[in-house]
Amino acid sequence: MNERYVPIFVEASKYRIMVFGGGNVALRKCRYFQGADITVMTREILPELKEIVSKVIIGEIPDDVKDLIDPFDLVIAATDNKELNAKIRNDAAFMGISVNSAHGGGNVLIPSVLKRDKYTVAVSSQGRVPAFPPYIVNELDGFLDGKYDRMLDLMIEMRQYALDN
């Protein structure tokens, strides 16, 4: 694997995201980007997914999705069809649009996340073993308790003092 993935945090509300698929994988990925402008295209959609996205298009996903994905910043191929996900991934890559695919091969990986009030920890196996990052996040959840929140509060105050003086 020669790819070099780097962690990055982006303001989700600034992104337009097209998701293909309406099941549990799509739900998990949409929850990650909650707050973004998300459009989902699928034959069937989970009710809880429908509630967190901006727009739903019910229907068959066409063979060529280039016209559908043109205005989007990120495409997520989250169907249960490996070949269809590959086609969506390839169309997005051809158009220079960042893409995540449930079956791998995209240029965007979605990490497992531990979110606290003032900090976030993201964990990825770089697409190698999807079950590993949630395990690590669960371990970190037990370790990163309230004392780290208090430590961060103190560090925020100290930094602000240093910036002001």
Q: Is the domain of 158 the same as that of 138?
A: yes
Q: Measure the CA–CA gap between 46 and 118, rounded to whole angstroms.
A: 31
Domain limits at 154? Answer: 112-164
List C-alpha distances in Å: 148 to 81, 95, 120, 162.
43, 43, 12, 21
Residue-by-residue pLDDT tens, the chain, 165 positions = 567 899 999 999 999 999 999 999 999 999 999 999 999 999 999 999 999 999 999 999 999 999 999 999 999 999 999 999 999 999 999 999 999 999 998 999 999 999 998 899 999 999 889 899 999 999 999 999 888 999 999 999 999 999 999
Same domain, 86 and 127: no
Q: 119 and 79 in one domain?
A: no
Domain assignment present for residue 5? The answer is no
- What pTM was estimated for this model as a whole? 0.90
Looking at the structure, do residues 85 and 53 belong to the same domain, yes or no? yes
What is the signed CA dihedral for 79, 83, 85, 86, rounded to 10 degrees?
170
Phi, psi dihedral angles at 143 (to 5 degrees) = -85, -45
